[in-house]
Amino acid sequence: MRQSRLLAVYCALLLALISGCGSSDKAPASSSTTASAGAKIIVFAAASLKKTFTDIGEQFKTDNPGASVEFSFAGSSDLVTQLTQGAPADVFASADTKNMDKAAQAGLLAGDPVNFASNTLTIAVAPGNPKKIASFKDLTQQGLNVVVCARQVPCGSATQKVEQATGVTLNPVSEESSVSDVLNKVTTGQADAGVVYVTDAIGAGDKVASVAFPEAAGAVNTYPIAALKGSKNPELAGKFVDLVTGESGQKVLNAAGFAKP
């Protein structure tokens, strides 16, 4: 009887040893999966990209299980200032090449930026266009409350180009730090008209009407994107850039009214 009990204990120990050896032979999780699990990237992006990048961000999380993305949307000039002052970020997407060049000159980029979209100005007015605005020059009508972007912001710089090309000088009641702020002034009735991007007017739906003007074709803004040298997750930062510039990201951007760069 004692020998039987000893044999049973021996067999149990042998089985445990074999089982342990088998488990050690399992392949470890791939490095990419390990890198993605629980990792987060921070994307600094122009205010006009808010809706599209939010949608692209959801796709990014689906493509990279366990990873997350945090956005900071603002005027491109404000974002560059924050980055040069040491704000942590992994990716920067600008609404113009000028502000991306500033980031490059400051040594912030991990590689060459890639142009991924372009955008054109339009005039946003209240639904039904009650002020009967039909041209860029109409924005100079007496008593008309017009809002534009500040000149250091890409949409403001583009507006200034139109002014110079047409000889029309606007007298805005305010200059905003981002195009989304301009749009908000119009949708809330604080302004009669605002110079925004086509994509912003489309995104606002029936809250505004849009008045196109031909001179806008001479002030098209090109959008570049780049991973940043200080990224704590360079692999994921590169994947986000690839998603934006790839087929999936381009479909989202095109649907929102962005044109090819």
Known binding site for molybdate: residues? 48, 76, 179, 197
CB distance 44 to 79 below 8 Å:
yes
**Rounded Cα gap, residues 114 and 185, in angstroms:** 32
Q: Residue 142: which H helix or E strand, with range?
A: none
**Rounded Cα gap, residues 210 and 194, in angstroms:** 10
Quickly count: other Cβ atoms within 10 Å of residue 129's Cβ: 16
CB distance 70 to 88 below 8 Å:
no
Residue type, 36: S
DSSP state for residue 77 in the 8-state scheme = H
Which regions of 55-168 does DSSP assign to beta strands (E)? Answer: 68-74, 91-93, 114-119, 121-125, 146-149
Which regions of the chain does DSSP assign to beta strands (E)? Answer: 40-46, 68-74, 91-93, 114-119, 121-125, 146-149, 174-176, 193-197, 209-211, 221-227
Token code pair at residue 74: 């603002």
Token code pair at residue 140: 């100079």
**Rounded Cα gap, residues 89 and 81, in angstroms:** 13
Token code pair at residue 19: 């089982």
The binding site consists of 48, 76, 179, 197
